[in-house]
Amino acid sequence: MVKITYIDSYGESRSVEAEEGTTVMENAIRNSIPEIVAECGGGCACATCHVYVDEAWYPLTGQPSTKEEDMLDFAYKVQPNSRLSCQIKVTPQLDGLVVTTPSRQG
């Protein structure tokens, strides 16, 4: 299992154990993590699972695809470390991953 920590926009932190091969978004929804909406259910077709990846972890999550970059255009307050959490696959290298959720998704 891989540990993921979600920090909400108020600074409250919640950690979950995630299975490899799932996505950071799926684990948020399963564990009722606030501030992740995932309106389209993981299709990279909305921008409501937007997270900021902790700077230290950002390089390990890989590069967003063109499709994801296009979708990020619809997200709010996009930063260089912005990602759509449905596009981050859980791998053993990500054990300890920290992401912060924005105050608004949609």
Which residues in this chain contact other proteins in the complex, by CB under 8 A? 39-40, 43, 45-48, 69-70, 72-74, 76-78, 80, 103-104, 106
Least Cβ distance, residue 11 to other proteins (angstroms) = 19
Least Cβ distance, residue 72 to other proteins (angstroms) = 8
70, containing H or E segment: helix 66-72
Structural contact between residues 64 and 83, judged by C-beta atoms closer than 8 angstroms = yes
**Nearer Cβ to other proteins (2/48):** 48
Least Cβ distance, residue 61 to other proteins (angstroms) = 18
Structural contact between residues 97 and 71, judged by C-beta atoms closer than 8 angstroms = no
**Nearer Cβ to other proteins (47/88):** 47
Cα gap 93→61, rounded to integer Å: 9
**Nearer Cβ to other proteins (1/45):** 45
**Strand order, beta sheet including 13-18:** 13-18, 2-7, 97-100, 50-53, 82-84
